[in-house]
Amino acid sequence: MKNDTKLQKISISNKFCSFKSSIHQKILKKCISVSIKIFYLFIYYYYYYYFFFNRLWQRRGVVFLSVVLFSLFSMAYSVEGEHQQYVQYLEKKFLWCAYWVGLGILSSVGLGTGLHTFLLYLGPHIASVTLAAYECGSVNFPEPPYPAQIMCPEEEVLQESISLWTIMSKVRLEACMWGAGTAIGELPPYFMARAARLSGADPDDEDYEEFEEMLEQAQSAQDFATRGKLAVQNMVQKVGFFGILACASIPNPLFDLAGITCGHFLIPFWTFFGATLIGKAIIKMHIQKLFVIITFSKHIVEQMVSLIGIIPGIGASLQKPFREYLEAQRAKLHNPAGKLNLAQKS
C-alpha cells in the first residue's frame, strides 16, 4: 500500500511538472510570437514614417509655407485688434460655404441614395430670396439677420431695379458651393471603380456589378433604361471631357454610372473631376437657379394664386389661405412682428 501511495504521488508530481513545463512552453511561444509581431510592426511604421517624412522633406518649401500661413492665421484669429472684423467676416463666409458644400455632398454621395438637399434647403432658400427681392425692391437685406432671416432694408428702392441677374447674383455663392459639393460627392464611385480595375478585385457593390453585367450584355440590350445607361457610358468613354461635362450639366440620375465608367476605364482624375465641377457647380447650378427664380417671381406667384381661385367649388376656399400666407410673409419682411399683428387683427 505504501509503495502504491508513493507511486501515485510520483505520478501526480510528474504530471504537474509536465503541465507546468507545457505552460512555460506556451508562454514562451506566445512571447516569441508577440515579439515578432512587435518587431514587424516597428519595421512597418519605421518605413511608413520614413517615406512620409521623406516626402515632406522633398516638399519642404510647401510645408514651410503652410506652417507659416497657419501660424499667421492662428495669430490673427486669436489676437485682439481692428482686424477682427475682417477675421469674423472671413470666418462667417467660410462656415457659410462649408455648410452648402456639406449639403451638396449629402445630396450626391451614396450612389443615388443621397439626401435631396436641393429640394429641402437650397431651393426654398432661393425661393425666399426671390419673393423677398420682389417685395422689398432690393436684395440688400440687412446682415444680420440675413441669411438666418430675411428683412427688407429701410431705404426705399424702385421695383424696376430687380432683375433675374440681380437675384442670381445674390444667391450665386451658396448655389455654386452646393454644386461643388455635389461634384465632390460623385468621387466615391469613381475611386471605387478605379481601385477595382487597378487591383483586379471585384468590389462588393451592386452598382458596380450592374455596370459589369451591362458591359457584358451591351449588344443584346433592348429596354429603354439599359439603352440610356449604355448611352451615358459610350458618351463618357468616347467623348471624354466634354462627354462628362454634358452629363454633369443636366439633372442626370445616371451620373453615378458616369463616375463608375470613368474609374473603370482609368480616365484621369482631373479630367473627370474638372468636367464634373464645371458642369455641376456652374452650368447645371445656373439652370436650376434660373428655374426656381422664374417659378417664384412675383407675377408668376400671383398668377398661380389666381388660377387656384378658378377651380370650381373649392377654388375660393383654397385661394384664401394662400393669399393670407403671402400677405403674412410680406408683412414679416417689412416688420418681424407683422405676422403677429396680422394674426391679432384677424
Number of domains the chain is built from: 3
Domain annotation covers residue 70: no
Answer yes or no: do 246 and 280 share one domain.
yes
Domain annotation covers residue 48: yes
The amino acid at residue 195 is: A
Q: What local confidence, expressed as pLDDT, does residue 7 receive?
A: 54
Instruction: Round to whole Å and give the CA distance between 128 and 181.
Output: 22
Answer yes or no: do 283 and 303 share one domain.
no
End-to-end CA distance of the chain: 112
Answer yes or no: do 133 and 225 share one domain.
yes
Answer yes or no: do 131 and 222 share one domain.
yes
Residues 6+ apart with CB under 8 A from 144: none
Q: What local confidence, expressed as pLDDT, does residue 339 receive?
A: 40
Q: Note down pLDDT in tens along the chain; length 346 residues.
A: 555 565 555 565 555 556 556 666 777 777 777 778 787 777 877 777 788 788 888 888 888 898 898 888 888 888 888 878 888 888 888 899 999 999 998 888 765 555 688 888 888 899 888 888 888 888 888 777 787 778 777 765 545 567 888 888 889 999 999 999 989 988 888 888 888 777 765 555 555 555 555 555 555 555 555 665 666 667 776 777 888 888 888 776 667 677 777 887 788 888 889 989 999 999 989 888 888 888 888 777 777 777 777 777 777 777 777 777 777 777 777 665 444 343 344 3
Q: What local confidence, expressed as pLDDT, does residue 229 receive?
A: 61
Answer yes or no: do 53 and 130 share one domain.
no
Answer yes or no: do 221 and 334 share one domain.
no
Answer yes or no: do 52 and 162 share one domain.
no
Q: What local confidence, expressed as pLDDT, does residue 146 receive?
A: 80
What domain range is 327 assigned to? 298-345
Question: Which candidate, 287, 221, 275, places its Cα nearest to that of 251?
Answer: 287
Q: What local confidence, expressed as pLDDT, does residue 344 receive?
A: 40
The length of the chain, given as a count of residues: 346
Answer yes or no: do 227 and 177 share one domain.
yes
Answer yes or no: do 155 and 232 share one domain.
yes
Assess contact for 187 and 259: CB atoms under 8 A: yes
Answer yes or no: do 168 and 254 share one domain.
yes
Answer yes or no: do 110 and 246 share one domain.
yes
Residues 6+ apart with CB under 8 A from 265: 197, 237
Q: Is 19 exposed, middle or buried (0-12, 13-18, 19+ CB in 10 A)?
A: exposed
Domain annotation covers residue 98: yes
What are the CA-CA distances from residue 266 to residues 89, 105, 216, 240 (Å)? 42, 23, 18, 11
Answer yes or no: do 189 and 243 share one domain.
yes
